[in-house]
Amino acid sequence: MAQLYYKYGTMNSGKSFEIIKVAHNYEEQGKPVLIYSPSVGARGGEDRVGSRVGFERAAIPVHEDTDLFENVKSQIEASAHDNIYCVLVDEAQFLKKHQIIGLTRIVDELNIPVMAFGLKNDFQNRLFEGSYNLLVQADKIEEIKTICWYCDRKATMVIRFRDGQPMNEGAQIQIGGNEDYKPVCRRCYNEAFRTAQA
């Protein structure tokens, strides 16, 4: 029975690399997959999934008005394959509520498993729209772990930096790399802001 999986982690936890690995495992067995990536925040371009370790895969871009359920149906109809064995979604935190509902329909009506990968919380420790709705709708939720940038604890948060200083204000979505964001544990997150205020 197909299920909706939400696999979340902080930045640098290997989410995009995991998508590429899962796709490879399916395809090595002759089982085609579909990979989607929101056009906002796409590291390798809007039609790519790009990992920080350098691997890339083609992806179907998802725009704000993309109907994922209808898109998957049309991809199946247009393909030479009998079936799609899995739908993989990168940067799922950027999806809209209607798109998460579309993922549930893919699982429930088309009986195709969906694995959505993304951040849970933003730099202000608020849930993204996509992550909130995935936490509500997913059949299985799994954390992809990584370590804090500053100590050896598990990273659960992210700090946004500007000119080397931690920021706690600004737009929720701002794309950046290691110079802009660092994965951190709760203690180091709070300590960074205490130090900056002092």
Residue pair 122/128 in contact (Cβ under 8 Å)? The answer is yes
- Give 35's strand partners: 88
- Cα(166)–Cα(136) distance, rounded to whole angstroms? 30
- Cα(153)–Cα(164) distance, rounded to whole angstroms? 22
129-137 vs 97-110: helix crossing angle, rounded to 10: 30
**Which residues are within 8 A (CB) of 74 and not within 5 positions of it... i.e. 6 or more apart?**
none
Active centre residues (catalytic) = 91
CA 42 to chain centre: 10
Tokens of 62: 């998802």
Residue 116: which region, alpha, beta or left (left: phi > 0; alpha: psi -120 to 50)? beta
